Structure 1
Amino acid sequence: MTKPTLLGADALERSSVVANNTMNRERGLTGVNSYARELGLDPTAHLTARPAAPSWLDLCSGEGRALREAAAVLPPDAVLTAVDLVGPLAPTPAPPALEEIVASVMVWVPPPGRTYDLITCVHGLHYVGDQLGLLARAASWLAPDGLLLAHFDPDSVRRPDGSPAGRAVLSALRAAGFRYSARHHRLRLRGPRTLRLPFRYLGADPAAGPNCTGQPAVGSHYAPEGGTP
C-alpha cells in the first residue's frame, strides 16, 4: 500500500475537493432535497419545542438556505448561525436572526458562553481534515439536552499507513455517547460533553476518492493516542 501524501489545514482547504462551492447550495429546510430528509428530523419542529429562545448552529452551511427558511418561521429571538469555508452565495441580505460567517469550521468558535440547541453538519465532515477534532469541539457547544447531528463515513478515517480505522473510531465515538446509523451514515449526540477520543490527527488526503455519497472526499488519518506515524 502506497503511503498517501497528507496535507495540513491550509493546503487542504485550498484544494479543489474541500473548497466545494456547491456544498448545501440548493438544500432547503424541508422537501425532497432538504435538511429534514438528510437529518431524519425537522429542525424547526425540534427547535420550536424548546422552552426558551431556540438556537441552531449549522457547520458547512453553504448558501444557508435552510437556516434562512427557518428564520422565517422561528420566534424572533431565535439564534441561527451558519459557518462555511466558501461562504453564503445568496444575493439577498440574511434575516436578522441569522448570522452568516465565512470561516474554516476548524478555527471558528462561538462567542463566549453561547451554546446551541441544535448543531448540524450535513455532509460537511466529508470535507474536513480533522473530523474527530471538529466533533469534539461541537459537542462542547451543545446546550443542556442539545442535539448534534452530523453525517460521517467511517471509511474516511484511516491509520497512518492508509489502512481502515473506521471500526476503532466508531467504537470510541459510541463509548463517548454518540449513536451511529450505518444506513444513513449519521452520528447523533444528545447533551454537551468534553470528548477525549484516543486518536491523534496526522493530516488529510484530498485524493482519497469517492466516499459513501459517491463524490470525491477527504481521507482523515489518525494515529492511536501515544502511537507514532
Structure 2
Amino acid sequence: MPEPSLLTAQDLELSSVVANNTMNRERGLTGVNSYARELGLDPLDELSGSPSPSWLDLCSGEGRALREAAARLPEDAVLTAVDLVGPLAPTPAPPALEEIVASVTTWTPTRTYDLITCVHGLHYVGDQLGLLARAASWLTPEGLLVAHFDPDSVRRPDGSPAGRAAVTALRTAGFRYDARSHRLSLRGGRSVVLPFRYVGADPDAGPNYTGQPAVGSHYA
C-alpha cells in the first residue's frame, strides 16, 4: 500500500475538502440543528456561572450561535469567532462578538476563555492534536473545551492507524473522550504536551463518521 501524499498546512487550506462552505453555516444556538445538540450542553448554561462570560468558537462558519448568544449574555461578555473563511454574507456583528478570519492552526488569542468550542471543525484541520494542545492553554482555570474528534483520522506517516495512541495520550493529559458522541472535552486551562510530531495531512482520506470527506492527520 503506497504511503499517502501529505500536504503542508498552507496547501491543505487551499484544498477542496477544507474549503467546505457548508460546514457550520446554518447551525444556531439551540434547537434541532444547534450547538446545544451537537455539544451535548447548552452554552448559555455553561457560561451562566461567570460574571463576565467569554466564549471562543473555532471553525465558527457563519457564527450564528455566537450572534444569538450575544443577545442573551451580559453586555461585558466576550465572544470570539474564528474561521478560515468567515461569514459568507457578512452583516454587522453585535458589540460583544469579534469575528476573525484566520487559520486556527496559526491564530492565537490574547486572553483566556470560559468556553472553547469546535463543532466538527477538527475534521478539516491538519494538525488537530497541536490545536487541541494549544487550546488547552487558552482556557480559564474552570473553563471548558468541547470539540468533535475522530480518532480514525489520526495516522502514522505510512498511513497506519494511530487513533488509539492519540486518545490514550489525550486522556493522560486530562481530556475526556466519549466514543459514542465523538466528543472530546477538557475542564480547566493547562499546559499540554502530546508525544506526537505532526508530519502532514491527507486531504484524500475520504469520509469520516459524519459521512463527509475529511482530512487525515499524520504524526510520527
* Superposed pair shares fold, TM > 0.5: yes
Answer yes or no: is 1:135 the counterpart of 2:135.
no
AA partner of residue 122 (structure 2): L
1:92 CA drift (Å): 2.1
1:90 CA drift (Å): 3.9
| Misfit runs of 4+, over 4 Å | none
Q: How do 1:95-134 residues align onto structure 2 when only pairs under 5 Å count?
A: 95-111=94-110, 114-134=111-131
Query: Which residue of 159, 162, 175 corresponds with 2:159?
Result: 162
State the TM-score, normalizing by the size of structure 1: 0.95
1:159 CA drift (Å): 0.7
Query: Which residue of 181, 184, 192 corresponds with 1:187?
Result: 184
Answer yes or no: is 1:6 the counterpart of 2:17.
no
1:118-149 C-alpha deviation (Å, 9 max, x unpaired): 00000000000000000011000000110000
Checking the alignment, whether the CA contact within 8 Å between 1:154 and 1:167 is kept in structure 2 is yes
Q: Distance in 1 between matches of 2:113 and 2:89?
A: 24
Checking the alignment, whether the CA contact within 8 Å between 1:83 and 1:105 is kept in structure 2 is yes
Partner of 1:227: none
1:206 CA drift (Å): 0.3
1:91 CA drift (Å): 3.9
Give 3-state SS (helix, strand or coil) of 2:164's partner: helix
Change (3 A) 1:210 1:32: same
1:7 CA drift (Å): 0.1
State the TM-score, normalizing by the size of structure 2: 0.99
AA partner of residue 40 (structure 2): G
Q: Distance in 2 between matches of 1:198 and 1:131?
A: 13
Q: Distance in 2 between matches of 1:92 and 1:48?
A: 27
AA partner of residue 41 (structure 1): L
Q: Distance in 1 between matches of 2:159 and 2:86?
A: 31
AA partner of residue 101 (structure 1): I
- What is the RMSD of the two structures over their aligned residues, measured on CA atoms? 0.7
Give 3-state SS (helix, strand or coil) of 1:180's partner: strand
Answer yes or no: is 1:36 the counterpart of 2:60.
no
* Aligned residues between the structures: 220
Q: Distance in 1 between matches of 2:180 and 2:49?
A: 27
Query: Which residue of 198, 211, 214 corresponds with 2:211?
Result: 214
Q: Distance in 1 between matches of 2:170 and 2:8?
A: 24
AA partner of residue 210 (structure 1): P
Checking the alignment, whether the CA contact within 8 Å between 1:20 and 1:86 is kept in structure 2 is no
Partner of 1:84: 83
Q: Distance in 1 between matches of 2:183 and 2:46?
A: 17
AA partner of residue 109 (structure 2): P
Q: Distance in 2 between matches of 1:21 and 1:56?
A: 23
Q: Distance in 2 between matches of 1:91 and 1:153?
A: 31
Q: Distance in 2 between matches of 1:218 and 1:187?
A: 18
Structure 2, unaligned stretches of length 5 or more? none
Structure 1, unaligned stretches of length 5 or more? 224-229
Q: Distance in 1 between matches of 2:61 and 2:23?
A: 5
AA partner of residue 153 (structure 2): S
